[in-house]
Chains A and B, each alone.
Chain A
Amino acid sequence: MPANLWPSSTDLLRFGPEILLTLVGTLMMVLEPLLDNKRVFRTLSLVTLLGAIGVTMAAHGVPGLSYANMIIVDGFATFFRLLVLGVAILTVLLSGDYLEKEGHETGEFYALLLFSVVGQGIMACANELIMVFVGIEISSIASYILTGYLRDDKRNNEAAMKYFLLGSFATAFLLYGVAWIYGLTGSTNLNDIRTVLSSPNFTNSASLVGMSAALMFVGFAFKVSAAPFQSWAPDVYQGAPSPVSAFMSAGPKAAAFAVFIRVFLTAYGPISDTWVPLVAIAALATMTIGNFAALRQTNVKRLLAYSSIAHAGYVLVAIAAHSTVGTQAVMFYLASYVFMNVGAFAVVTFFARKGEQYVNIDDLSGLAVRQPAMAAMLTIFMLSLIGVPLTAGFFGKFYIFKAALDSNLVWLTILGLLNSAVAAYYYLRILVVMYMREPGVATNNMDEAPFALRLTVWASALATLVLGVMPGLLLDVAGRWVLALGR
């Protein structure tokens, strides 16, 4: 069809955010050797990301399938596109001062960040398994490099290497699953797969279809750091530069959940009886492993990594609920998680200082005396991660477990909530050292936080509280844009 060789303007618009980000990312690579003032790239990437938000909203005005049904622009895609763009904006705000302090501010960093967001945007709107794979790869490869960005730092190198090796392995499983389902159904398009699987003429063995779903689950579970594929997360989050850890715990994870939900609800929707128990068990294992492992951590970044594993478990509970309400809960949860987690990592970034010297929990001793505002903000994030009412985290958990009860997952609800009580212990430890210990070496000589970092922290804290008092603001959006079952 030669007429379709050049995409129509609607097609271009629907894929607009990714096109814009790719163009600017490439431009940055070109400008990098030409410009001495690296601060330009901060501004440029911020402007681009804001622009991409605008394009995303414009694309949302013309919803539908594009590029031979390879991508879909619907509310669900828009929601996650906005989410990952938001994460990227917060990350840029965090990174600037961090990189300057480390003496490594370059255009590459921001270009890689934008490319990673491109991958996540593609994941959000992929309607086709090949696109899913491409999106995951773009996002991951950029993340691998970002993890090892400070190339003279041993911890960075180790983390990047681990992440890369295990990550490639996991994506291979995913690709293998794609090959299986293509062999079984003759299509890689999610809607087509669904049609074939639900047709009465489909005679291929159910266990083979289940196997393909299981293979893809391995890939997705790795990306969202769900048990038993979670072991990379602590090492990587600990080793990576703090702003990158903040980014990875929020953006790629949210996008991976988006694509997980879209593939399993759409393509594998007809065989949900097969995978729902699997996801439920993975959810329980993920929560339990994450929370119990976090109890013994002494490094704040590692603790937040295990906490992020546990939170992936809560989200899986909502996916196991397999309902529209459940998906809506996932959307709310991931969005509120962005604020509390990026906020927490932002405080850690501020606190760790040059070369990330101070990343142990004990280093935070007496922070409340020296930096009451920062300590108060971190308290808000911790309380939100625990799930104390009047914070976003509480409503996130509430909606998830309500969805689970709705779907009669009583055992999972009870075990999940008890898990969150266990989790309270390690979050409280951070409050204990901040408020109940005397200031130590690490807290005694601290500079004022740079403006951009303060902005990130305050904005995240404000969002956490606002969503904790008026969750309707976000939940209504999630409700309008939720991915309907059976589409």
Chain B
Amino acid sequence: MLDLVLFLPLIGFLLALLVPAEKAKYFALIFSLVLFVISLGLIGPVLANPGEYSFVTDTPWISTPNIRYHIGLDGLSLWLVILTTFLTPLAILISWNYIGHRMKEYYAFLILLEFGVIGVFVSLDLFLYYVFWEVGLVPMYFLIGIWGHDRRIYAAVKFFLYTMVGSVLMLVAIIYLYLKSGTFDYTVILQQMASGQLKLTPEEALPLFLAFFVAFAIKVPLFPLHTWLPDAHVEAPTAGSVMLASVMLKMGTYGLVRYCLPLFPNAARECAPWIVGLAIIGIVYGALVALVQPNMKKLVAYSSVSHLGFVVLGVFSFNQLALDGAVYQMLNHGVSTGALFMLVGMMYERRHSLEIKDYGGVATQVPHLATVFLITTLASVGLPLLNNFVGELLVLQGAAMVNISWAVFAAIGVILSACYMLWLYQRVFLGRTSHDTAHHFEGQDLKTREWVAILPLLALMVWMGVAPMGFLTPISVADNKTLQQSKLNVELKVTAPAPPALPVSAGTTVQVAQTAAGVNNAR
């Protein structure tokens, strides 16, 4: 069934190219809704056993070198796949009237994007993973480049090249791992590491880790590799921004959790202080830059840099709570930032401007839109009972257990996020309305189509904030396993005769491992 969910979008892409242009959006909407409904069927079996892979298909694809079509779904990837299938119909709805030219290609590319992204989340073969990683790049490149705003071409090319540079380094690392282990199969590589059959010396592990890490860090994006993101977001059409922020950035954070931690436990722990440092800089820096943005979309884009800093902080705390929070925060960010981009897009369709100074006091004209925007804003700043609160709290709590100063600095980001978001709300919706602005918004409150697109997201914000355990439990089980795998390899290294050159780092890793173990027991 996972095969079906994975390959239906590819078929949908080809079919979308065949239907007449004016029917393309209807086709795309129905198709993506059907896919969403089918994908809901994935939830049950994974929840029954979230620590192991469900829906596994494992057949040879290419014989030399041995590349397998190996896919599976566990608690870590489940919600990300569902998020993707859930957001695609909403993204199509939001584009309904906005996209006026070359509609056929537009909807086809949105569906192709779904194919690439789902593939990334379900691949269990490193090579297959790389293939999907790159495939997702192409439709997004076209979405930004053809249907974007004025500087779209610059943004599209920058987006493509940044990701490409990172990913070729990852390809080198993948091939190197293959030459060492004789397989691309991720599960087999982990088994070999667990059994001690595959040993990476620290001199090997560090460059390999960095090769993977840089590819993911660009995608996340982690400060200082984030500069492509504001450009891409601002120039992309609304649906492009939504998909980019909500699911494509998660390809990076997902990669960190899925691959970096278990494959290179020692290197990851050695680099963790530096990475956490960058994450905290990203949190504060992103928030400060968002504070001074005159452009709404850019503001939301920089808030993404800040929010994803939390995710990276959580991942590299090597702590169950923080990791759970980080993975949960991936979903939260997908929901609330996706909603923010949609709302900004709706504002743009009315006022044809993204500059904050062109707005002001529109709440009187469009009260429903203003209310929805306020709820989304509050979710984004982490108000309790809404989704982001849960994730941020877990990350901060987990990080504090490892190092209290990390949590302190990161908390500054939470405060700042309230500043920039509420200030944005104030400048856009409150205050006096200029005649010009009022004219654009008069009688232009949310239409039925827009309600349909935004309501599911609002519902999720509340649901994920009030009853997080339903989502968190499978994540937690999968995280626990990831941490175990990661820890197992560290312990192997420690029991092995330690090379005299690295006494300090070995000591730290033991300490970190013990902390993590302590937290596990505490839970």
> Which chain A residues have a beta carbon within 8 Å of chain B's beta carbons?
368-369, 383, 386, 388-390, 394, 398, 401-402, 405-406, 410, 413-414, 417-418, 420-421, 424-425, 428-429, 431-432, 435-436, 470-472, 475-476, 479
B168 contacts chain A at the CB level, 8 A cutoff:
yes
Interface centre among B141, B160, B161, B168, by most A CB within 10 Å?
B168
A313 to chain B, nearest CB (A): 15
Q: Report B289-319 residues with CB < 8 Å from chain A CB.
A: none
B172 contacts chain A at the CB level, 8 A cutoff:
yes
B137 neighbours in A (Cβ, 8 Å): 388
Stretch at the interface among B62-70, B237-245, B269-277, B504-512: B62-70
B436 to chain A, nearest CB (A): 30
Interface centre among A398, A414, A470, by most B CB within 10 Å?
A398
Inter-chain pairs besides A368-B102, A405-B172, A421-B165, 6 sampled, C-beta below 8 Å: A402-B65, A402-B179, A405-B175, A418-B165, A418-B169, A428-B160
Stretch at the interface among B145-153, B439-447, B461-469: B145-153
**A433–B423 alpha-carbon span in the complex (Å):** 40
B135 contacts chain A at the CB level, 8 A cutoff:
yes
Once A388-B135, A388-B138, A432-B153 are accepted as A-B contacts, the answer to whether A421 and B65 lie under 8 Å apart by CB is: no
Contact with A along B73-102 (1 / 0, CB 8 A): 000000000000000000000000000001
Q: Is the CB of A436 within 8 A of B102?
A: no
Contact with A along B123-134 (1 / 0, CB 8 A): 000000011101
Q: Is the CB of A428 within 8 A of B157?
A: yes
**A424–B134 alpha-carbon span in the complex (Å):** 13
**A463–B134 alpha-carbon span in the complex (Å):** 20
Chain B residue nearest to A475 (CB atoms) is B64
Chain B residue nearest to A419 (CB atoms) is B168
Interface centre among A383, A432, A476, A479, by most B CB within 10 Å?
A432
Q: Is the CB of B145 within 8 A of A436?
A: yes
A436 neighbours in B (Cβ, 8 Å): 145-146, 152-153, 156
**A9–B297 alpha-carbon span in the complex (Å):** 77
A172 to chain B, nearest CB (A): 40
B164 contacts chain A at the CB level, 8 A cutoff:
yes
B26 contacts chain A at the CB level, 8 A cutoff:
no
Q: How many residues of B contact A (CB 8 A)?
A: 33
Chain B residue nearest to A479 (CB atoms) is B64
Contact of A414 among B146, B160, B169 (CB under 8 A): B169
**Top 9 A-B residue pairs of the complex, sorted by shortest distance between their CB atoms:** A417-B168, A389-B131, A421-B165, A421-B164, A389-B134, A436-B145, A402-B175, A424-B164, A472-B62
A428 neighbours in B (Cβ, 8 Å): 141, 157, 160-161
Q: Is the CB of A417 within 8 A of B169?
A: yes
Q: Is the CB of B160 within 8 A of A424?
A: yes
A310 to chain B, nearest CB (A): 14
A123 to chain B, nearest CB (A): 27
Q: Is the CB of B64 within 8 A of A414?
A: no
Q: Is the CB of B176 within 8 A of A405?
A: yes
Q: Is the CB of B172 within 8 A of A417?
A: yes
19 contacts between A and B (CB under 8 A): A369-B102, A388-B138, A389-B131, A389-B134, A389-B135, A398-B175, A402-B178, A405-B172, A418-B168, A418-B169, A421-B164, A424-B161, A428-B160, A432-B153, A435-B145, A436-B145, A436-B146, A436-B153, A471-B62
B422 contacts chain A at the CB level, 8 A cutoff:
no
Chain B residue nearest to A424 (CB atoms) is B164
B171 contacts chain A at the CB level, 8 A cutoff:
yes
Contact with A along B100-111 (1 / 0, CB 8 A): 001001000000
Q: Is the CB of B142 within 8 A of A420?
A: no
Chain B residue nearest to A328 (CB atoms) is B64
Chain B residue nearest to A470 (CB atoms) is B62
Q: Is the CB of A405 within 8 A of B157?
A: no
Chain A residue nearest to B132 (CB atoms) is A389
Q: Is the CB of A405 within 8 A of B179?
A: yes
Q: Is the CB of A388 within 8 A of B64?
A: no
Chain A residue nearest to B65 (CB atoms) is A402
**A405–B64 alpha-carbon span in the complex (Å):** 16
B62 neighbours in A (Cβ, 8 Å): 470-472, 475
A375 to chain B, nearest CB (A): 10
A431 neighbours in B (Cβ, 8 Å): 141-142, 145
**A320–B281 alpha-carbon span in the complex (Å):** 44
**A357–B388 alpha-carbon span in the complex (Å):** 59
A406 neighbours in B (Cβ, 8 Å): 179
A291 to chain B, nearest CB (A): 13
Contact of A425 among B146, B157, B175 (CB under 8 A): B157
**A94–B264 alpha-carbon span in the complex (Å):** 52
B142 neighbours in A (Cβ, 8 Å): 431, 435
Chain A residue nearest to B130 (CB atoms) is A389
Q: Is the CB of A388 within 8 A of B157?
A: no
Contact with A along B383-421 (1 / 0, CB 8 A): 000000000000000000000000000000000000000
Contact with A along B176-193 (1 / 0, CB 8 A): 101100000000000000
Q: Is the CB of A432 within 8 A of B175?
A: no
Interface centre among B105, B141, B161, B172, by most A CB within 10 Å?
B172
Chain A residue nearest to B148 (CB atoms) is A436
B70 to chain A, nearest CB (A): 16
B172 neighbours in A (Cβ, 8 Å): 401, 405, 410, 413-414, 417
A417 neighbours in B (Cβ, 8 Å): 168-169, 171-172
Q: Is the CB of B175 within 8 A of A390?
A: no
B156 neighbours in A (Cβ, 8 Å): 432, 436
B130 neighbours in A (Cβ, 8 Å): 389
B81 to chain A, nearest CB (A): 20
B11 to chain A, nearest CB (A): 15
**A425–B154 alpha-carbon span in the complex (Å):** 11
Q: Report B33-67 residues with CB < 8 Å from chain A CB.
A: 62-65
**A429–B157 alpha-carbon span in the complex (Å):** 8
**A431–B178 alpha-carbon span in the complex (Å):** 33
